[in-house]
Amino acid sequence: MADPFAITDCALIAIATGEKAHNLRELLDRLLRIDIPDVMYFHFWGGLLHSHFMDPEYPNDFGAWAYHSLRDRRLAERLSIINPTDFDSLGDVRKQVIEVVEDRMEEADFDIRKEAEHPFFFMRSQIVVFDTRIRIEHPRDLSEIVPAMTPGSIFYHLIDARRRTESGRNDFSEWLAPWGAPYDALAERIAALDPYFISLKELRDELASTVKNTFMTRRFHERHIK
């Protein structure tokens, strides 16, 4: 059996890189020069932990800036549909953003002289973690613990875990693996949750529902819950 699951909370600290862009040409230049994974991490995931800044229609900072400051809805929509979970690395996400920007600049209707109302400030992230001292001893306890988890804990275990674990999966699926076959399906269902395009509260609700539905299955209950 696995060791108890330690619930961890976290916060993202925003750190200025000193780089900014006043127009799309400058944004492209900075993207080409700044190859720092923590920059892409902050601008794609950081908004989840600062929901009062997040625009649901434009979930990453590049899309939100293109819409609100550059007033380029076409570019904003193309940037907003980039899902970082579809890529193997943040470097690949960066390449996709560059490709979208380059394609937009080559279009006939794009005004190369257009300045943004507000500059785009490139930030990088640093994660700070906190031990909540909450432990999950058995998978069946997930049903009780998950609904009360903080947004920071959901972020840490379902999102940040993807860059910490060797498999690139979340902490719950990793923890369930040693418990054997009865929990394999639950581990896969949790791994299949897409954490992008929704709030951390919605992600927690989806996780709670996934756990609840698994343990409510009569056959599962009769065979495995003691």
Same domain for 114 and 32?
yes
Same domain for 93 and 171?
no
Residue 18: which domain range?
A: 12-124
Same domain for 158 and 65?
no
Same domain for 164 and 219?
yes
In tens, the pLDDT along 188-204 reads 999 999 999 999 999 99
Angstrom distance (rounded) from CA 42 to CA 124: 6
Same domain for 99 and 54?
yes
Name the pTM for this structure.
0.90
Same domain for 67 and 146?
no
Taking alpha carbons only, the member of 28, 11, 9 closest to residue 105 is 28
The residue out of 106, 124, 142 marking a domain boundary is: 124
Question: Model confidence at 223, in pLDDT bands (50, 70, 90)?
Answer: low
Same domain for 16 and 115?
yes
Burial of 12 (0-12, 13-18, 19+ CB in 10 A): buried
Question: Residue 92 in contact with residue 8, Cβ under 8 Å?
Answer: no
Taking alpha carbons only, the member of 100, 96, 74 closest to residue 85 is 96
The residue out of 91, 124, 157 marking a domain boundary is: 124
Q: What is the mean pLDDT of residues 83-92?
A: 95
Angstrom distance (rounded) from CA 1 to CA 102: 51
In tens, the pLDDT along 89-136 reads 999 999 999 999 999 999 999 998 899 999 999 999 999 999 999 999
In tens, the pLDDT along 8-38 reads 999 999 999 999 999 999 999 999 999 999 9
